[in-house]
A and B are shown apart, each in its own frame.
Chain A
């Protein structure tokens, strides 16, 4: 039986708060923990077969042109080389998230430096790598567009909006701000590089890969190969991090499948780290112009937010930089816009919190600067401008706890101890400052299915949903355990296999809520089946510790189930709910930094975030997601920057020696707090997403703190020493 729900109306029952098991929301350890800490979790590159061959992708070394000739003969004559694959079905780029169809294919034309154009297959990894380094390719180069600042841009009609008269109010308002900021390209840098092992059984392909959204990835892979999706199975039970980089099928998967079919033996292709930088989606470098107008009391009269991003030709994705701008703060006069450049640079796509990740912190920099102009406390300035309802819409917020999050964070952080005068606090050679920012991220629900089988031994949850480190194994186990009255060890969760019911996939912070709701529905259907057997209403049924209690009688669940397992599927679809209330998650960031007065080096000394994301499903894993987001913010503020050579467009810093992720010592003790919230518009669990909120705004808390410490405004991210040192007091 399937319990299907199309979410048209807010939840009125809040059933999870009336269950008895007491496992939901707790900081239970991850069920997959023991396998991960002992090296036994099987990631994509762990799969091996006795006759498996190894493939290494070869990249284009021009930014634009035609491939004139790939001379495979010399490489194919090398010892240990099996074949050079130059199939025109090779992917030029990875698919964008939820593309559901093949991305651009073909190795006759080069669109960017780093594009895969061939696969060298060897009997050993060492042989294949050697061959790939020696493949001779000649090109007919064409003129390339390499600098987003130097090419013509387009202004897509759908990306521009305005209300009132911003230009007018910018002229008449007593206090205004009009500034430009730039952020560089950002890389997801999941620790696991993209890897696929493909094996065919007749017409059927099995791919062990590392992917976030399997139901789409299956269709993308099948479409790339020109075969029926029914003949494709993808397994990704463990994914070594995603952050958007594994949303869509990528070149190594299609190359492995093509080679395995051609050679009649399994083939594994793992991207070297440099290839991940050169081929996989990155967050586009961005220029943002923000205009603010306010009256003397600090009430915002005008908001302008314009930005410029880029992508490859024919890529539909443009970083939705201003996604949170329309609803975060109130102002009668508004103008929001975007221009997009088309350039020959590695594909731009979703990196953790596309849009808000860079849009919110830059806007929060502007808010900080505006507060200073107004002579107001930055916290008070924000509190004064939180809208009652989403501006320009005739629906309410489903829930908006921004003010509560700001006040809670300020109190716990000790914001009242901040000296508002920049450069006023010194400790030896260090200048100390505090900064804050709002955190905002839209909330989404996606279609998702899951199945639960209940036997005398316990329950098994099955869905093709993935756990990319987010805690899916834990939370789905907890949801099923709570509703079915089973301790966590009696629930087994199986994920990451396209043979299982299609879940939402991991992306956009919607995984836990969407996939979790499908598990919730399946468990509710099982509760109904159990209630039927006991001849009572589901609402009168108490399930706890493997016991079913109804009408004051206790029955062992195992006895009720007996020989024939109970089975149920849950199916959630987003309905009309979005037209009834506007959903988002809100929070606040606070940071204290120390800037060295001799070197300009910034150290984050402490950081605190308060977040409201509806029901927290697992306090421990939710906190870890926030730690991760806040640390992304530290990286964005201080070190992360993709550099592109303006002569040929190649990624200059294509490894971890030169693209600087925060390391352990760069991250101080981080405090994370959650506000008690239930959002009935989100789903029946009343839970919202938390995977991305932690990054949205975080970098601004750091750079605003740098200003408080030194008086230096960072307009060109990241805040490296050279941008601070010349301006120190």
Chain B
């Protein structure tokens, strides 16, 4: 089935089996292997990409459902020679070890920060009028859909915290 996707600002044409997930389309058909398959069941978050501004597990959706959608993957966030501030903060704070969950963590965090700016509450929010002041607990809760078995969690929170500060200043 033919599908048009706008990925990282570029028009991409896909002609794939209708059973192809968005994740497999990215990885196997479009050469964008930054998004990872850790469980294929929406349980680990390694495949997180941003579709029309919202983070989703790309393994849980079929590519053919996204005709005309705007998709951002890790490749669209920054390159090794031109890292985004959040990516730099992950390197500086060692917000990863093996690196496998990392593209998903960074895509997830990128969209999460927008969610907070838009005033979306979370499970741990005490005050619905002050959502965008992200406490460490808020960051941890909002990133809990992204597993990291190396358990860089405290460093991931620190990296996101730093990037929040940088954006604010």
> How many Å from the CB of A331 to the closest CB on chain B?
35
Whether B144 lies near A191 (C-beta < 8 A) is no
B74 touches A627 (CB 8 A): no
A471 proximal to B (CB < 8 A): yes
Contacts known (A126-B17, A238-B99); A38 close to B94, Cβ less than 8 A: no
Task: Give the size of the chain B interface in residues (CB under 8 angstroms).
Answer: 66
Given A126-B20, A663-B144, A665-B124: A193 in contact with B75 (beta carbons within 8 A)? no
Write out the residue numbers on chain A whose beta carbons fall within 8 Å of the beta carbon of B46: 191
Residues in A232-267 with C-beta less than 8 Å from chain B: 238-243
Interface string of A622-665 (1 = CB under 8 A from B): 01110110111000000000000000000000011100011111
Q: B149 contacts A243, CB within 8 Å?
A: yes
Q: List 21 A-B contacts (CB under 8 A).
A: A34-B81, A35-B80, A37-B99, A38-B74, A38-B80, A39-B103, A40-B80, A48-B28, A125-B28, A126-B19, A188-B149, A190-B100, A191-B101, A192-B36, A192-B38, A272-B40, A624-B97, A627-B153, A630-B151, A664-B139, A668-B154
Judging by beta carbons under 8 Å apart, are B149 and A191 in contact?
yes
Q: Contacting chain A: which of B84-92, B113-121, B126-134?
A: B84-92
Tell me whether A189 and B149 are in contact in the complex, defined as CB-CB below 8 angstroms, given that A34-B80, A37-B83, A43-B100 are known contacts: yes
Contact B100 A191 (CB under 8 A): yes
User: Measured between C-beta atoms, what is the minimum distance from B84 to chain A in Å?
Assistant: 9
Residue of B nearest to A42 (CB): B33
Q: Which residue of chain A is the closest to B136 with respect to CB atoms?
A: A669
Partner of B96, one of A36, A45, A46: A36
In Å, the complex CA distance between A103 and B80 comes to 40
Beyond contacts A240-B36, A241-B100, A664-B157: 15 other A-B pairs, Cβ-Cβ < 8 A, are: A30-B91, A36-B99, A37-B88, A37-B103, A43-B100, A191-B36, A191-B147, A238-B99, A242-B98, A273-B38, A631-B153, A656-B38, A656-B44, A664-B146, A667-B140
Residue A124 CB within 8 A of the other chain? yes
Bound form: Cα–Cα A665–B136 in Å:
9
Please tell me the number of chain A residues within 8 Å of chain B, measured between CB atoms.
Answer: 64
Whether A29 is near chain B, meaning CB under 8 Å from some CB there, is: yes
Q: A29-B91, A34-B91, A39-B75 are in contact. Are A192 and B98 (CB under 8 A)?
A: yes
B68 within 8 A of A: no
- Which chain B positions have C-beta within 8 A of A35? 80, 99
Instruction: Find chain B residues with CB under 8 A from A48 CB.
Output: 28, 31
Contact A471 B41 (CB under 8 A): no
Q: How many angstroms between the C-alpha atoms of A669 and B139 in the bound complex?
A: 12
A272: nearest residue on chain B (CB-CB)?
Answer: B40
Given contacts A190-B98, A621-B94, contact A37 B153 (CB under 8 A): no
**Which A residues touch B96, using CB under 8 A?**
33, 36-37, 469
User: Which residue of B has the minimal Cβ distance to A620?
Assistant: B94
A29 in contact with B92 (CB, 8 Å): yes
Is A41 engaged at the interface, CB distance under 8 Å to the other chain?
Answer: yes
- 6 smallest A-B Cβ distances: which pairs? A39-B34, A240-B100, A469-B98, A36-B99, A469-B97, A631-B151
Kindly state the separation between the CA atoms of A38 and B32 in the bound complex, as whole angstroms. Answer: 11
Q: Is the CB of A33 within 8 A of B91?
A: yes
Digitize B65-88: 1 where CB-to-A-CB distance is under 8 Å, 0 elsewhere. 000000001110111110100011
Q: Give complex CA distance A240, B31 in Å.
A: 19
Closest beta carbon of chain B to A492's beta carbon, Å: 14
**Residue from the list A32, A38, A191 in contact with B34, Cβ < 8 A:** A38
Cβ distance B81 to chain A, nearest Cβ, rounded Å: 8
A38-B79, A39-B34 in contact; A664/B43 too (CB < 8 A)? no
Interface residues of B in 16-67 (CB under 8 A from A): 17, 19-20, 24, 27-28, 31-41, 43-44, 46
**Is the C-beta of A585 less than 8 angstroms from some C-beta in chain B?**
no
Q: Min CB distance, B58 to chain A, in Å?
A: 13
B99 touches A127 (CB 8 A): no
Whether A670 is near chain B, meaning CB under 8 Å from some CB there, is yes
| Interchain CA distance A631-B140 in the complex, whole Å | 14
Task: Say whether B7 faces chain A, with CB atoms less than 8 Å apart.
Answer: no
Query: Shortest beta-carbon distance, B164 to chain A, in Å?
Result: 15
- In the complex, whether A484 has a CB less than 8 A from a CB of chain B is no
Q: Does A222 count as interface, using CB distance less than 8 angstroms? A: no
Residues from chain B with Cβ under 8 Å of A189 in the complex:
149
Instruction: Please give the distance in Å from A616's CB to the nearest CB on chain B.
Output: 14
Taking Cβ atoms with an 8 Å cutoff, the residues of B that contact A are 17, 19-20, 24, 27-28, 31-41, 43-44, 46, 73-75, 77-81, 83, 87-88, 90-92, 94-103, 106, 124, 136-137, 139-141, 143-157
A39 touches B100 (CB 8 A): no
Docked pose: A281 CA to B159 CA in angstroms: 33
Q: For the complex, what is the distance from the CA of A34 to the CA of B91, rounded to whole Å?
A: 7
A656 touches B151 (CB 8 A): no
Contact A667 B34, beta carbon cutoff 8 Å: no
**Across the interface, which residues of B come within 8 angstroms of A188, CB to CB?**
149
Nearest residue (CB) in B for A694 is B151
Q: Is the CB of A628 within 8 A of B151?
A: yes
Contact B91 A193 (CB under 8 A): no
A38-B75, A624-B150, A656-B43 are contacts. A192–B80 as well, Cβ < 8 Å? no
Q: Does A399 reach chain B (CB closer than 8 Å)?
A: no
Contact present for B151 and A632 (CB under 8 Å): yes
A631 to B139, CA, bound (A): 18
Which residue of A30, A191, A470, A657 contacts B41 across the interface (Cβ within 8 Å)? Answer: A657
A475 in contact (CB, < 8 A):
no
Which chain B residues lie closer than 8 Å to A469 at the CB level?
96-99, 150
- A479 at the binding interface (Cβ < 8 Å): no
- Shortest Cβ gap from B16 to chain A (Å): 8
Chain B residues within 8 Å of A667, by CB: 140, 151, 153-154
CA distance A131 to B124 in the complex (A): 45
B83–A38 CB distance below 8 A: yes
Shortest beta-carbon distance from B40 to chain A in Å:
6
Asked if A468 CB lies within 8 Å of chain B CBs, one says: yes
User: Which residues of the other chain, B, contact A34 by a CB distance below 8 angstroms?
Assistant: 80-81, 83, 87, 91
B140 and A193 within 8 A (CB):
no
User: Which residues of chain B have C-beta atoms less than 8 A from A468's C-beta?
Assistant: 98
- Whether the Cβ atoms of B150 and A241 lie closer than 8 Å is yes
A39 vs B77: C-alpha distance in the bound complex, in angstroms?
10
* Bound-complex Cα distance A40 to B106 (A): 13
Q: Which of A36, A193, A242 contacts B102 (CB 8 A)?
A: A36
User: Could you tell me the distance between the alpha carbons of A125 and B87 in the complex, rounded to whole angstroms?
Assistant: 31
Residues of A with C-beta under 8 A to B99: 32, 35-37, 41, 238, 240, 469
Residues of B within 8 A of A43 (CB): 36, 100
Contact across chains for B98 and A661 when beta carbons are under 8 A apart: no
**CA of A631 to CA of B149, assembled, Å:** 9
* CB closest residue in chain B, given A633: B151
Question: CA of A125 to CA of B17 in the docked complex: distance in angstroms?
Answer: 10
**Would you call A709 an interface residue if the criterion is a C-beta within 8 Å of the partner chain's C-beta atoms?**
no
User: Is A687 an interface residue when CB atoms closer than 8 A count as contact?
Assistant: no
Residue picked from B77, B106, B149, most chain A C-beta under 10 Å: B149
Is A270 at the interface (CB under 8 A from chain B)?
yes
Is there an interface contact between B141 and A665, defined as CB atoms closer than 8 Å?
yes
How far does the Cβ of A469 sit from chain B's closest Cβ, in whole Å? 3
Question: Hey, which chain A residues are within 8 Å of B33, CB to CB?
Answer: 39, 42, 45-46
What is the distance, in angstroms, from B93's C-beta to the closest C-beta of chain A? 9
* In contact, B74 and A270 (Cβ under 8 angstroms): no
Q: Which residue of A lies closest to B18 (CB)?
A: A126
- Which of B39, B81, B83 is the one whose CB lies under 8 Å from A655? B39
- Nearest residue (CB) in B for A635 is B151
Q: Nearest Cβ in chain B — how far from A129, in angstroms?
A: 8
Q: How far is the CA of A272 from the CA of B44 in the complex (A)?
A: 13
